[in-house]
Amino acid sequence: MKKVIGFGEIMLRLATPGYLRFTQTDRFNATFGGGEANVMVSLANYGIATEYVTRLPENDIAEACLRSLRAHNVGTSHIVRGGSRMGIYFLETGAVARASKVVYDRAGSAVAEIQPGMIDWDAVLSDADWFHWTGITPAISQGAADVCLEAVTAANRLGVTVSCDLNFRKNLWKYGKTAAEVMPALVERTDVILGNEEDCEKVFGIKPEQFDVTNTGGDIDSGKFLSVCRQMMQRFPRCSKIIITLRGAINANHNTWGGVLYDGSRLLESRRYDITHIVDRVGGGDSFMGGLIYGLLTGHDDQWALDFAAAASCLKHTISGDFNEVSAAEVLKLMEGDGSGRVSR
């Protein structure tokens, strides 16, 4: 059986109920989520063996987190313990012209205090086929960046495929280094790169010409990203596939959604979905990545993997929480054209 390893920080997610603002609510819905953990949950739902690697404190909140991962069939045997707290993020869900908001409370978390040598990457990756990281992890702290570099270096040495989601988060780079300083050493060791319409620009200064993400009207010309893909591959020659997710934001509840994949010679495009009543868009890119890895790992061609990823992520927009609670069969049903939403009896 194919096996995927993910490394990063999983957080306690505290979300206001419905569309309440932070200043209105007197309660929060508590779940767990984080970029790499979200990908592992998706893959586990599709029947892929997964191991999620992180650092958690020894307390009851961390225990609840572990139980949540195990309930989703995500392996936790390589999680190391230490530190005093988990990171937290607060979510206010936007509506129509009001954007969603995220407030982070993750300074001094167990992962932020991680150091090289705490994880035996040779043991973790000994039977792995794939390793996944995101640009969120090296943004947390120098220690987290160093451990991520340890992981991708070990994966390269052991012949494990490496993927990343660039995931630029400007509010996290606070420890004295910029993404432009830290990310290249990690990305140059990566085989499959995912980003959105802004990540390549914000991290590497590579952007599509005559494109304004704030003024798409929901219609994004995929051809504008061919030059971005070519420039990324030229800068990072190890990369064999670069994928760009395409989100056209009409308003907070109505987006168009799809993606393109470039393999060095062809630019493939997925079906474009019109998502008119978004329930929760957090984790949308992670669900796309999970679907893509699943398609590539199970021997399908690039177009099939891209189409599966787009359909999986479309469904995630209908599900509350970070995790994409869908099966491969449900994704295939949408991928094959059944988006009616009729009751399944």
Of the pLDDT bands very low, low, confident and very high (cuts 50, 70, 90), residue 224 is confident
The CA–CA distances, whole Å, from 70 to 14, 21, 66, 165, 216 equal 20, 32, 6, 24, 40
Examine the pLDDT at 167 and tell me if it is beyond 80. yes
Which tens digits make up the pLDDT trace of 55-96?
999 999 999 999 999 999 999 999 999 999 999 999 999 999
Annotate 42-111 with DSSP letters as a single string: HHHHTT-EEEEE-EE-SSHHHHHHHHHHHHTT-B-TT-EE-SS---EEEEE--BTTBPPEEEEE-TT-TT
Q: Give the residue numbers spanning the domain of 69.
A: 3-335
Which tens digits make up the pLDDT trace of 27-44?
999 999 999 999 999 999
- Domain-embedded: residue 281: yes
Give the three-state DSSP class for 13. strand
Average of per-residue pLDDT values in the chain: 93
- Domain-embedded: residue 342: no
Average pLDDT over residues 101-106: 94
State the CATH number of the domain containing residue 293.
3.40.1190.20
What is the length of the chain? 345
- Domain-embedded: residue 99: yes
CA angle 211, 39, 42 (to 5 degrees): 115
Examine the pLDDT at 202 and tell me if it is beyond 60. yes
- Domain-embedded: residue 42: yes
Of the pLDDT bands very low, low, confident and very high (cuts 50, 70, 90), residue 102 is very high
- Domain-embedded: residue 343: no
Average pLDDT over residues 280-305: 96
- Domain-embedded: residue 345: no
pLDDT at 116: 98
Question: For the chain, what is the domain count?
Answer: 1
- Domain-embedded: residue 96: yes
The pTM is what?
0.94
List all residues 6 or more positions away from 30 whose beta carbon is below 8 Å from its beta carbon: 12, 13, 14
Cα dihedral sign, 324-330-334-336: positive
221 vs 109 pLDDT, higher one: 109
- Domain-embedded: residue 149: yes
Q: If we measure between CA atoms, which residue out of 209, 219, 207 comes closest to residue 246?
A: 219
Cα dihedral sign, 135-172-72-309: negative
